[in-house]
Structures are given as C-alpha cells and as structure tokens.
Amino acid sequence: MSDTESMLGAVDRAGVAVFAFFGTRGQVIAVPVTPYSHGGKILVTATLAYTRKAELVRRNPAVALLADGMHCTGEAEVFSDVSGDFFVEHVLEDEIRKYPPALALTKVPFHRKVFAWYFGRAVVSFDAERIETRPGDDSVTLITSVEGRPRITPLAIDYAALDSDVELATEAVDGPALLLAHRESDDMSDLRQLSVRGEVSDGVFRERSRSGSLEAADGGSEWGRRRKAAKARKMMKDWPKMPV
C-alpha cells in the first residue's frame, strides 16, 4: 500500500480530524473537522453558516491534516457548492456515517431547503503530500509552522492540563504556536473545542491567550445560521464551482 493510500484510508476511518491552515496575519489556525476523500483527494467542507476556514484557505492554500495517526500537508483549492448537489451526491453518505446527527436533518420534509445553510458547502480539496505516521490521540495537538506549512503534533496530555495557564515542554522549534483541544460526545451531538495560543521558547510552550471551551458548546441559533448562509452565498458567487 502506498503512502497516499494509507493517508486516504486514515481519512476514511476518522470520524474527526485536525485541520490546520493560516490566518490573515500568518498565524496558524486549527479546527476539528469531519474529513472525507473523493477521487484520490482529501476533502474538508464548510457549511454555508461557517465558511471562515474556506475563506482563509483561499488566501493561503498551505494546509495540513492529522487523521487517525496519519499526517499530511497539501496545497488546497477551494470550491463553491452552494446548491449542495456535490455534497449530497458524493459526501453525504460518509457524513451520516461519521456525524450521525446529519441523518435527522435528512428526515425533515424539504430538508435541503429548510437546512440550506447545512447542505450547501464550501469545499476544500487537496492532494496528500509529505505524508508521515504520527500515532497518538489527536484530542490535544500542538500546531506550528515549518517551512511555510502547518505542522500538527499529537500531545500525550489530558484535558486537565489545560485548566489553567499552560506551560508545556515540547520539541517544537521556537516561535508562535497553537494548542488545540477538542471533545465530542459518543453520538456527536455535543462538540466542543478550546484553542490556546502561545509561544514556544527554549523548548517550552507558554500560553498567551485562549478561546473556546471544553465545558460548554456554542451551537448558535437557526436564524443566525441562515443569516450567515445568505452572506456566504453572495461572497461565494465568483468562486469556482465544485464539479458534480
């Protein structure tokens, strides 16, 4: 089995992966995502209500993914699937398998219209490059930048280590870094994440700021999601369309 096949297999097995990219100031950003593969490429999607990661990847296509103990980088393309046709035809089956709450949405009459913010997507697509095995739980990871690409390292620490100001020994190179922690309920109905931004200096990561929480989830309102989706449709009108 080739490295690419091993990476795509890990993507198919993983219910949750860590996806890393760059922000507008060149800072590393990472989020937990549901990963997919299609046509030999890795896909990460964003609902129309939460397109920020896709917007940022359009600015800087350098990305990384850690899934089921396998890590890769890539140069991503970003496509519009506002109608949701590509998502429904090629991704939805895997979405339901990995994210069971999606099944309930499909049972609602006229669900693609009622939940258009969910079925319409921005699609990030990339080839797996620089593939490495990185075993370990990805519930807590350290994200750094190496040679202009994000690098995701799983950390063997538990959530309790994040309760107060984090000071953590690491082999990462000196510079800005991000610690991401995520937690999901068994049925995936409760999703939580915490980002701790800091600096690595002399082999120690020290916290500077944090956002999010492992103690409370922020699902937002249905009205808020629909409003964001309307803005996303306007923003994405000139994006290349994802071929069905």
Q: Helix (H, G, I), strand (E, B), or coil: what is residue 189?
A: coil
Query: Tokens 């359009």, residue?
Result: 58
* pLDDT tens figures, 204-222: 999 999 999 998 776 778 9
Greater confidence (43 vs 243) lies with 43
How many angstroms separate the CA atoms of 235 and 109, rounded?
Answer: 28
| pLDDT-derived band at 244, boundaries 50, 70, 90 | confident
- Is pLDDT of 85 > 90? yes
pLDDT at 218 (0 to 100): 67
Amino acid at 19: F
Return the pLDDT at 243. Answer: 84
> 2.40.50.180, 3.40.190.10, 2.30.110.10, 3.40.50.720: which CATH number matches 3-219?
2.30.110.10
Mean pLDDT of 178-201: 96
Instruction: Give the DSSP letter of residue 147.
Output: T
The pLDDT-based confidence of 1 (bands split at 50, 70, 90) is confident
| Phi, psi (deg, nearest 5) at residue 124 | -100, 125
pLDDT at 236 over 90: yes
Sheet (strand 167-169) strand order: 149-154, 140-146, 175-184, 191-201, 204-213, 167-169
pLDDT at position 79: 98
User: Which long-range contacts link 100-104 to residues 24+ away (Cβ below 8 Å)?
Assistant: 100/187, 100/188, 101/187, 101/188, 101/189
Q: What is the pLDDT of residues 109-153, one digit of tens each?
A: 999 999 999 999 999 999 999 999 999 999 999 999 999 999 999
Do 127 and 41 meet the contact criterion of CB atoms below 8 Å apart?
yes
Q: pTM for the full model?
A: 0.96
**Residue for token pair 């071929």:** 243
Show Cβ contacts of residue 83 under 8 Å, excluding neighbours closer than 6 positions. 120
Write the CB contacts of 168 (distance below 8 Å, at least 6 apart in sequence): 142, 155, 157, 161, 179, 204, 205
Give the pair of three-digit tokens for residue 162.
Answer: 């994040």
